Structure 1
C-alpha cells in the first residue's frame, strides 16, 4: 500500500509516488521518459483525488457519529478495527513525505501461526506470495546499514539491487 501523507494544519493529502527524475533514470530518451511521467502523474493525481474524497467522507462520518461513536465502537469493535486499523499503518505526517514509502501490511493476532519469531531479533509474517518477485531495488538508510548483509543473503538468488541511501538529509 502507498502511504498517505497528511498535513494536519492545512489538511492537504498526498499519496506516496515516484518522482519525475526516476523516469529519466529508468528510461532512455527513445523510451519517452517525459510521456511516461505524464501518464504516471495522471494516475497518481486521480488516486490523490479519490483518497482525499474518501478521507473527507470518513471525517464527516466520524463527525456525524462522534457522540455515539464510543458506544458504536464498543458494539462493532471488529468492524471498526477492520476499517480503521490499516489506516494507522499507512497514514503519516507530511514531514515524512520525502520518504515516499509503500508498505506491505498483514494484520493479525500474535496467536496466528503465521506469525514467526526469531527470539530477541525479529517478529515477522511469511507472506504467501513471493515478495522477492516484486522487488527491483531496496534502499537502506545509513543507520540500518548493518542489515545489508542479511538482505543480501535473502536476495542472493535475485537481481534485486541493495543500495545505501545517499539522501543527504538522512546522513545525520
Structure 2
C-alpha cells in the first residue's frame, strides 16, 4: 500500500504506537492496558491492527490520527527511546496471550460501528455549531476507540434520538 490509510481500509480497530507525547493526543494505553481492550474488541470485531512507525521518525500526527487508540511503552527516562525491534518485542510479549483465545465474534456485530460512530459524532457537532471546537472533537475521537460494544450501541441509540429531535 502507498499510504497507511490505504493499508487500514479493511481494519476495524487500529492501535498506533508512539514514544513521543503529542499535545493533540492525551490518552495513551500501556501495552498492559491494551490486552483487556483488545480481548473485548475481539468479541465483536474481525480485524485489528497494531501500527509501528518508522525507525527514524515514528508515525506522523496525521498517521496517529487514523488510530482508534494510541499506545506507548512507559519509560522512566527524560527522553524515552526504544528502537523499533525492542518496541515490537515488548508488544509481542505483552499481547501473546491473545493468540491463546479462540475467536468468538458476535454474529450481529457491525464491522464499522466505531467508524460510523465517529462520523455521526462529527456530523452532530457540526450541526450543533461545535464542529470547530478542537478540544471537544479530539477528546471524542480519542475516547470512542475505548468504548465496549454495548457502550457503542448505546451511544448510537443516543445519537439517533438526538438527530431525530433536531429534525423536528
- Under TM normalisation by the shorter chain, which class is it? under 0.3
What TM-score results when the alignment is normalised by the length of structure 1? 0.25
**Bigger relative contact order (CA 8 A; separation at least 6):** 2
What TM-score results when the alignment is normalised by the length of structure 2? 0.26
Larger radius of gyration: 1
